[in-house]
């Protein structure tokens, strides 16, 4: 088993999907141990560190990568399995950002009203008890919420010759900000350019569904992934697979279009890989789907469609989903844990 470790130097982060030179070349089957910096590039460490003062646009949401995947070509799919996602520090930060977030006017939902105040909250992380402590700014309330680490951003270089900011979610993945991107999950991304050029970042110790204020409990992460290249199979929009569910992620505006994309892709995935007709799949999804929102604040909104595997026929060709990658990468993860003693379960 090939295990590679990457902890980028300050100047090595990428700020876009596409348009950045690869950090390294990797192969299908490799395990990667990655350090990801938080979305503020590590600059918000106290309540006094206002993003508009300490951060330098557009250098937000640093990406670890991109990685060039050997043999990856347009029309293939890259499967990225999250073996573990662990906060790298004992605290995390969140904040309001002027004219950003769901409960404020923004640069596109533009109004004449002044922005909300800019305020920072520092969350204490207890990595043993696996909690995130909220401390109110205007009263003496504190509460511990369960830690549920995830990556807000994972993606490949986009199609159509484009380069997109790391803050954007779209068909190439990117800043989807879904809590479903947690350890144990496999993410499928369609390859648009030679080498796929995937990267990830934007760790969240936890996040509410929709990321209402636009910012989660942002923290640096130590993350382990295993990758597999699925040759000759395109994937139109990001898909996820856990032991229990298959999931799709649609990103668009308005939010109903993000919903439509995810639900249609789920219906068509089931029709294609599980042998139901499209109308039967439409009916079954209508009654069985879970539809947790991911983000309603980014340049595109992201909606998840999520179906229990036990509600579906057996997938064609292979166990799990039609890709088969999830099972193989789960086995790879088990192998990795056997070899590794240095990380907590």
Question: How many residues of this chain bind its own copies (CB under 8 A)?
Answer: 94
Q: Which is nearer to its own copies, 47 or 340 (CB)?
A: 47
Q: Which is nearer to its own copies, 33 or 169 (CB)?
A: 169
Sole window of 3-11, 24-32, 66-74, 285-293 interacting with its own copies (rule: CB under 8 A): 285-293
Tell me, what DSSP letter sits at residue 179?
Answer: T
Sole window of 22-30, 62-70, 71-79, 108-116 interacting with its own copies (rule: CB under 8 A): 108-116
Q: Which is nearer to its own copies, 7 or 58 (CB)?
A: 58
Which string of DSSP letters, residue by residue, matches 188-217? EEE--STTEEEEEEEEES---TB-TTS---
Q: Does 182 bind its own copies (CB under 8 A)?
A: no
Q: Does 145 bind its own copies (CB under 8 A)?
A: yes
Q: Does 119 bind its own copies (CB under 8 A)?
A: yes
Sole window of 3-11, 33-41, 295-303, 325-333 interacting with its own copies (rule: CB under 8 A): 295-303
Distance of closest approach, residue 155 Cβ to its own copies, in angstroms: 14
Compute the distance between CA of residue 155 and CA of residue 163 in angstroms, rounded to an integer.
12
Q: Which is nearer to its own copies, 143 or 331 (CB)?
A: 143
Among 164, 182, 328, 332, binds its own copies (CB under 8 A): 164
Which residues, other chains included, contact 315 with Cβ-Cβ below 8 Å and sequence gap of 6+?
A: 273, 274, 321, 322
Distance of closest approach, residue 174 Cβ to its own copies, in angstroms: 12
Sole window of 64-72, 182-190, 202-210, 325-333 interacting with its own copies (rule: CB under 8 A): 202-210
Among 2, 113, 338, 342, binds its own copies (CB under 8 A): 113
Q: Which is nearer to its own copies, 105 or 340 (CB)?
A: 105
Sheet with 63-69, side-by-side order of all strands: 24-26, 63-69, 196-204, 150-155, 173-174, 169-170
Which of positions 296-325 make contact with its own copies (CB under 8 A)?
Answer: 296, 301, 303, 305, 311-313
Determine the straight-line distance between the first and last CA of the chain, rounded to whole angstroms: 19
Q: Which is nearer to its own copies, 291 or 318 (CB)?
A: 291
Q: Which is nearer to its own copies, 59 or 90 (CB)?
A: 59
The helix/strand/coil state of 109 is coil
CB burial class (10 A; 0-12, 13-18, 19+) of residue 115? middle
Contact in structure between 263 and 289 (CB atoms under 8 Å): yes
Could you identify the residue written with the tokens 């990428």? 14
Q: In this structure, what is the dihedral angle of CA atoms 61, 66, 69, 75, given to the nearest 10 degrees?
A: 60
Could you identify the residue written with the tokens 């799919």? 77
Phi and psi angles of residue 325, each rounded to the nearest 5 degrees, phi first: -65, -40
Among 1, 3, 103, 331, binds its own copies (CB under 8 A): 103
Compute the distance between CA of residue 327 and CA of residue 128 in angstroms, rounded to an integer.
29
| Cis? peptide before 58, omega within 30° of 0 | yes
Q: Does 3 bind its own copies (CB under 8 A)?
A: no
Among 18, 87, 149, 203, binds its own copies (CB under 8 A): 18
Compute the distance between CA of residue 104 and CA of residue 12 in angstroms, rounded to an integer.
34
Instruction: Name the CA radius of gyration of the chain, rounded.
Output: 19
Q: Which is nearer to its own copies, 68 or 100 (CB)?
A: 100
Sign (positive or negative) of CA dihedral 105, 110, 113, 115: positive
Which of positions 220-239 make contact with its own copies (CB under 8 A)?
Answer: none
Q: Which is nearer to its own copies, 282 or 337 (CB)?
A: 282
Site mask for its own copies (CB under 8 A), range 233-272, x = bound: -----------------x-xxxxxx-xxx-xxx-x-----
Q: Does 134 bind its own copies (CB under 8 A)?
A: yes
The helix/strand/coil state of 272 is helix
């Amino acid at each position: 088993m090939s295990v590679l470790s990457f902890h980028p130097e300050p100047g090595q982060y990428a700020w876009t999907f596409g348009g950045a030179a690869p950090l390294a070349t990797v192969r299908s089957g490799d395990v990667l141990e990655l350090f990801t910096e938080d979305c503020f590039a590590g600059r918000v460490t106290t309540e006094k560190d206002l993003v508009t003062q300490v951060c330098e646009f557009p250098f937000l949401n640093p990406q670890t990568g991109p990685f060039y995947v050997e043999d990856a070509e347009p029309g293939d799919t890259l499967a990225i399995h999250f073996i573990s996602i662990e906060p790298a520090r004992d605290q995390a930060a969140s904040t309001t950002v002027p004219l950003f977030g769901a409960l404020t006017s923004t640069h596109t939902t533009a109004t004449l009203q002044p922005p909300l105040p800019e305020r920072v909250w520092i969350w204490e992380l207890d990595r043993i008890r696996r909690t995130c402590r909220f401390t109110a700014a205007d009263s003496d309330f504190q509460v511990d919420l369960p830690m549920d680490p995830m990556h807000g951003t994972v993606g490949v270089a986009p199609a159509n010759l484009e380069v997109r900011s790391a803050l954007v979610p779209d068909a190439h993945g990117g800043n989807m900000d879904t809590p479903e991107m947690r350890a144990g999950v496999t993410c499928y991304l369609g390859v648009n350019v030679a080498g796929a050029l995937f990267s990830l970042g934007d760790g969240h110790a936890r996040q509410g569904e929709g990321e209402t204020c636009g910012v989660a409990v942002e923290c640096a992460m130590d993350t382990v992934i295993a990758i597999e290249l699925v040759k000759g199979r395109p994937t139109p929009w990001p898909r996820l697979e856990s032991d229990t569910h298959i999931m799709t992620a649609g990103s668009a505006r308005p939010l109903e279009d993000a919903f439509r994309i995810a639900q249609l892709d789920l219906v068509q995935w089931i029709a294609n890989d599980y042998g139901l007709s499209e109308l039967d799949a439409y009916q079954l999804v209508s009654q069985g789907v879970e539809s947790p929102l991911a983000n309603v604040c980014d340049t595109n909104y992201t909606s998840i469609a999520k179906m229990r595997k036990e509600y579906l026929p057996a997938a064609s060709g292979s166990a799990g989903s039609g890709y088969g990658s999830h099972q193989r990468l789960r086995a790879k993860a088990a192998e990795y844990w056997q070899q590794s003693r240095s990380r907590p379960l």
